[in-house]
Amino acid sequence: EDFENMLITLKAIGNAGRPASAEHVLLRCALNLDAPVNMSIAALEALRRLPCNNHTTEQLLKIYGEHDLDVEIRIAGYLALMKCPSPSVFKQVAKILNDEVNNQVGSFVW
Protein backbone atom coordinates (compact mmCIF):
# COMPACT_ATOMS: atom_id res chain seq x y z
CA GLU A 1 0.00 0.00 0.00
CA ASP A 2 2.84 2.43 0.81
CA PHE A 3 4.43 1.59 -2.52
CA GLU A 4 1.21 2.36 -4.39
CA ASN A 5 0.82 5.64 -2.49
CA MET A 6 4.37 6.60 -3.43
CA LEU A 7 3.70 5.89 -7.12
CA ILE A 8 0.49 7.94 -7.00
CA THR A 9 2.38 10.80 -5.34
CA LEU A 10 5.11 10.71 -7.98
CA LYS A 11 2.53 10.76 -10.76
CA ALA A 12 0.70 13.67 -9.09
CA ILE A 13 3.93 15.68 -8.91
CA GLY A 14 4.52 14.95 -12.59
CA ASN A 15 0.98 15.96 -13.54
CA ALA A 16 1.10 19.18 -11.55
CA GLY A 17 4.66 20.10 -12.46
CA ARG A 18 5.04 21.47 -8.95
CA PRO A 19 6.84 22.11 -6.74
CA ALA A 20 10.01 22.82 -8.68
CA SER A 21 11.91 22.09 -5.46
CA ALA A 22 10.86 18.43 -5.83
CA GLU A 23 13.56 17.94 -8.46
CA HIS A 24 16.23 16.96 -5.93
CA VAL A 25 13.96 14.40 -4.23
CA LEU A 26 12.84 12.97 -7.56
CA LEU A 27 16.42 12.48 -8.71
CA ARG A 28 17.35 10.83 -5.40
CA CYS A 29 14.36 8.53 -5.73
CA ALA A 30 15.34 7.67 -9.32
CA LEU A 31 18.87 6.75 -8.22
CA ASN A 32 17.82 4.76 -5.15
CA LEU A 33 19.16 1.29 -5.93
CA ASP A 34 16.95 -0.21 -3.22
CA ALA A 35 13.77 1.10 -4.87
CA PRO A 36 11.86 -1.01 -7.40
CA VAL A 37 12.57 -0.16 -11.02
CA ASN A 38 9.05 1.14 -11.66
CA MET A 39 9.41 3.61 -8.78
CA SER A 40 12.65 4.95 -10.25
CA ILE A 41 10.96 5.28 -13.64
CA ALA A 42 7.97 7.07 -12.09
CA ALA A 43 10.36 9.52 -10.40
CA LEU A 44 12.06 10.26 -13.73
CA GLU A 45 8.71 10.64 -15.48
CA ALA A 46 7.61 13.09 -12.75
CA LEU A 47 10.33 15.49 -13.93
CA ARG A 48 8.50 16.01 -17.23
CA ARG A 49 6.74 19.26 -16.29
CA LEU A 50 9.32 20.72 -13.96
CA PRO A 51 11.46 23.56 -15.32
CA CYS A 52 14.71 22.61 -17.05
CA ASN A 53 17.98 23.47 -15.36
CA ASN A 54 21.64 22.52 -15.63
CA HIS A 55 21.70 20.40 -12.47
CA THR A 56 18.85 18.20 -13.64
CA THR A 57 20.37 17.89 -17.10
CA GLU A 58 23.72 16.80 -15.63
CA GLN A 59 22.05 14.21 -13.39
CA LEU A 60 19.96 12.84 -16.25
CA LEU A 61 23.07 12.53 -18.42
CA LYS A 62 24.72 10.55 -15.62
CA ILE A 63 21.69 8.26 -15.37
CA TYR A 64 21.58 7.70 -19.12
CA GLY A 65 25.33 7.10 -19.27
CA GLU A 66 25.57 4.74 -16.29
CA HIS A 67 25.99 1.33 -17.91
CA ASP A 68 25.41 -0.53 -14.63
CA LEU A 69 21.89 0.84 -14.13
CA ASP A 70 18.79 -1.06 -15.22
CA VAL A 71 18.04 -0.58 -18.92
CA GLU A 72 14.54 0.78 -18.27
CA ILE A 73 15.89 3.39 -15.85
CA ARG A 74 18.52 4.49 -18.36
CA ILE A 75 15.92 4.83 -21.11
CA ALA A 76 13.60 6.78 -18.78
CA GLY A 77 16.56 9.04 -17.97
CA TYR A 78 17.17 9.58 -21.67
CA LEU A 79 13.50 10.41 -22.30
CA ALA A 80 13.51 12.91 -19.42
CA LEU A 81 16.72 14.40 -20.78
CA MET A 82 15.18 14.93 -24.22
CA LYS A 83 12.54 17.15 -22.65
CA CYS A 84 15.15 19.96 -22.61
CA PRO A 85 17.45 19.30 -25.55
CA SER A 86 20.35 21.53 -26.50
CA PRO A 87 23.33 21.16 -28.84
CA SER A 88 25.50 20.36 -25.82
CA VAL A 89 23.12 17.63 -24.65
CA PHE A 90 23.02 16.10 -28.14
CA LYS A 91 26.83 16.01 -28.26
CA GLN A 92 27.01 14.28 -24.88
CA VAL A 93 24.27 11.81 -25.81
CA ALA A 94 26.14 10.97 -29.02
CA LYS A 95 29.36 10.47 -27.08
CA ILE A 96 27.64 8.08 -24.66
CA LEU A 97 25.97 6.29 -27.58
CA ASN A 98 29.36 5.69 -29.23
CA ASP A 99 30.50 3.78 -26.14
CA GLU A 100 27.16 2.04 -25.50
CA VAL A 101 27.44 -1.59 -24.45
CA ASN A 102 23.74 -2.39 -24.18
CA ASN A 103 21.95 -3.09 -27.46
CA GLN A 104 18.53 -2.24 -26.04
CA VAL A 105 19.60 1.25 -24.91
CA GLY A 106 21.63 1.84 -28.06
CA SER A 107 18.79 0.81 -30.36
CA PHE A 108 16.28 2.94 -28.47
CA VAL A 109 18.42 6.06 -28.65
CA TRP A 110 19.57 5.46 -32.21
pLDDT tens track for 40-84: 999 999 998 888 899 999 999 999 999 999 999 999 999 999 998
The answer to whether 93 and 81 have CB atoms below 8 angstroms apart is: yes
Give the pLDDT of residue 87: 96
Q: Determine the average pLDDT of the residues in 73-101.
A: 95
How does residue 20 score in pLDDT terms, banded at 50, 70 and 90? confident
DSSP 8-state code for residue 20: G
Identify whether the C-beta of residue 53 lies closer than 8 Å to the C-beta of residue 70: no
Q: What is the mean pLDDT of residues 85-97?
A: 96
